[in-house]
Amino acid sequence: MRTRRIGSLEVSVVGLGCNQLGTTCDETRTAAILDTAVDNGVTFFDTADEYGAGASEELLGRLLAARRDKVVIATKFGSTYGAAPGDGGASPRWITAAVEASLRRLRTDRIDLYQLHFPDPTVPIEETLGALDALVQAGKVREIGCANVGTAQIDEAARAAKDNGLRPFVSVQNRLNLLRPEALADTVPAASAHGMAFLPFFPLASGVLTGKYRRGQAPPEGTRLGDHVAPEVVGKILSDRTHDRLEAFEKLAGQDGHSLLELSIAWLIAQPAVASVIAGVTSPTQLLANVAAAEWELSEDTAAAVTAVAHG
C-alpha cells in the first residue's frame, strides 16, 4: 500500500478508524479486523480516549502489543463527553493525566500522534502546545495534531508555536467526504499552508457513500439509517439532492469499473493534503473493501469531474 507522511511519521494511505472497537466490535471481531489490517498493509490506527470509555485503546494495546513497532498509533485527548466534572479539555493539568492513562491502556511507552480532540476556548493555545511540547521532549509522544478545528484556530496554533518556540501541530483531523466537501475551501488550504497533513473523518458519510441506500427504497435492516435513525431524519439525509449526487458519483465510478465506495476513498486519497483515510469498519470484509479502494489512482480528469459533482 502507498504511504504518506504526517510530520516524521510514515502512514498507510488507508488507515483504520477505531471508534467501533470495544463498542460495536467485541474482542474477537476486533482481533480479526486488526489482523486483516496489518496483513494488508494498513499501518495507521486512529483512536481516542473517549471511544468506548477507553475500551478501544485497551483493545488496541492488547492486540497490537506484539506488532507495536510495525504500526503507527494515534489517539486523542480533550473530549468532555462522559467525563467527570473538571476532566477533559486542553489544560496542561488534564493533558498530563490523560496521556498517562492512554499510555497505560495502549500498553506502550510512546504515542505516535497525540491529538487535541476538540478546541478548548478556556485554555490559551500556547499553554496546550507547551504541555504537548513537554511530552514530545520527554519521549512520550512523537508528533502532535488537532481535530475539529476551524481555519482561524489552525492559524492561531501555528503562530503560537512559532512565537513560543514550541512543537507545532503536524495534522488536522476534520470532516471531509464527497457529500461534505466544504473543508476543501477552508481548512484543507489552511493546513497545507502550514505544512500540516489532513486526516478526513467520516470518509463514507456514515455509510451513505457505500452504495447501500437507494432512491425510493427504505434503508436496509442492519444499517445505521435502517435501525438507528428516525424516518424523518432519514428523509433529510437521503434527500433528492443527495440521491442525485450519489447516482452521479456511481456513474463516474462505473465508467472506470469501480464502486461508489471505491470512488469515495480514492477521491480523498487524490487530495494532495490527505495523508490517510481513516474509515471505521465493523468487519474484516469492510476493511478489505477500503484497502482495495486505495489501489485506484484517479486520473486528473476523473478527480476534477468528481469534485465538480461534490460541489454541485
Which residues are catalytically annotated?
51
Place of cell 512523537: 142
- Cα–chain center distance at 120: 20
* Residue 279 cell numbers, joined: 474509515
Which run of H or of E encompasses 307?
helix 300-310
CA neighbor of 198 nearest in space, from 5, 43, 41, 3: 5
Residue 172 sits at φ, ψ, to 5 deg, of -130, 130
- Counting beta carbons within 10 angstroms of the beta carbon of residue 300, is it exposed (0 to 12), middle (13 to 18) or buried (19 or more)? exposed
Cα–Cα dist 205/149, whole Å: 19
**Residue 255 corresponds to which amino acid?**
Q
| Alpha-helical regions (H) of 197-283 | 224-227, 231-237, 240-255, 260-269
Is the CB of residue 235 less than 8 Å from the CB of residue 228?
A: no
Is the CB of residue 180 less than 8 Å from the CB of residue 43?
A: no
In the chain, the largest separation of any two C-alpha atoms, in whole Å, equals 57
Q: Quick check: helix, strand or coil at residue 296?
A: coil
* Residue 105 cell numbers, joined: 491502556
Q: Helix/strand/coil (H, E, C) string of 103-124?
A: HHHHCCCCEEEEEECCCCCCCC
